Amino acid sequence: MNIKELIDSYRTITILSHINPDADAIGTSLGIYAILKRYGKLVEVVNYSKDLPKYLDFLPNYTKIKREMGYSESLIIACDCGSIDRLGFDLEGRDIINIDHHKTNSLYGTLNLVDDMLCSASHKAYMEFSQEFDICRDSATCFYTALLSDTQHFTTSGVTQDTFGFAMELMSSGADHREISYNLTYRRSLASVRIAAKALNTLELHHNAQISSIKIDRDMIEDTGAKMRDMVGIADIGRTISTVDVAITLIAQNGKTKVSLRSKRRDLSQIAEEFGGGGHTQACGFTMDITNLEEILDKILKKLTI
């Protein structure tokens, strides 16, 4: 069955995306939501996380995102999510359309539409949906936001001519580049800047300054009131240093530690998988059950410098 037949065979549809969603997860979800609403489907958009990134509130239908699933027998459309457990719900026995671009995607869907050469999940969603459905202005706005965010404003190494071609098609469909850029650039939370300042104070360089590390502990999070959504961009900072190829960021989180890895050239996705996580070649991560940040950093540095 192709995507349209699968959608037509269901009365209700639930769109999901990964926990701690970024702009690609939310933008791809809401972009598909707008398409299916217009097509006349009964559709809901759900994310398991308590705190959504507030700067995305300019996206059409942002306020429709719920924390609970209302439909119990709907078709699931999973967006930007490499593994089924990162969706947060029990989806045993459900049909799933898996739309993603993570290299480590475990192909958990009934229909797996996964292309790790694409810069955003929204690009894959657009390629699949635009063949069968109308792309309206609302949808183009959401897909463009997702693209601009995941390419870090067209600066990541995966950007190609096709990426710009996709951006152009979205602008033709009504996406307002200036408005979206403004929202992604000038609407940061104060907590996100305060936590970044504290995080940068912990910056260390290792292995001839080719590796950087940042450690965010519980006190820093409490002092600034930062939520996970406020710390998304911090992982990218170390990599901007000229000598650094790999940037490690550790964030204390409810008795566990969230680890983000970034690189300029190296494929780190294998290392993330060895630690039980996943992601892209140059942006990936995992969670560890220990809270001693020094100990974790040591373990990762050992893996990286073998």
Quote the tokens at residue 103. 């290299």
Please, are residues 133 and 143 in contact by the beta-carbon 8 Å criterion? no
Q: How many CB atoms lie within 10 A of CB 113?
A: 20
Under rule CB under 5 A, residue 230 binds Mn ion? no
- CB-closest chain residue to Mn ion: 24
Q: Which is nearer to Mn ion, 74 or 249 (CB)?
A: 249
Residue ranges with strand state E in 101-143: 111-114
Question: Which amino acid type is present at position 191?
Answer: A
Scan residues 178-217 and list those touching Mn ion (CB under 5 A). Answer: none
The stretch near Mn ion (CB under 5 A) out of 31-39, 75-83, 127-135, 205-213 is 75-83
The stretch near Mn ion (CB under 5 A) out of 43-51, 146-154, 234-242, 289-297 is 146-154
Task: Work out which of 80, 128, 138, 245 binds Mn ion, going by CB under 5 A.
Answer: 80
Phi, psi angle pair for 283, to nearest 5°: -150, 105
Under rule CB under 5 A, residue 56 binds Mn ion? no
Under rule CB under 5 A, residue 100 binds Mn ion? no
Under rule CB under 5 A, residue 142 binds Mn ion? no
Q: Which is nearer to Mn ion, 22 or 138 (CB)?
A: 22
Quote the tokens at residue 147. 């693209």
Under rule CB under 5 A, residue 36 binds Mn ion? no
- Tell me the C-alpha distance between 26 and 13, whole Å: 16
The stretch near Mn ion (CB under 5 A) out of 9-17, 18-26, 128-136, 202-210 is 18-26
Please, are residues 116 and 150 in contact by the beta-carbon 8 Å criterion? no
Under rule CB under 5 A, residue 24 binds Mn ion? yes
Quote the tokens at residue 168. 């152009």
Residue position matching structure tokens 């469909």: 173
- Return residues touching Mn ion (CB under 5 A): 24, 80, 121, 150
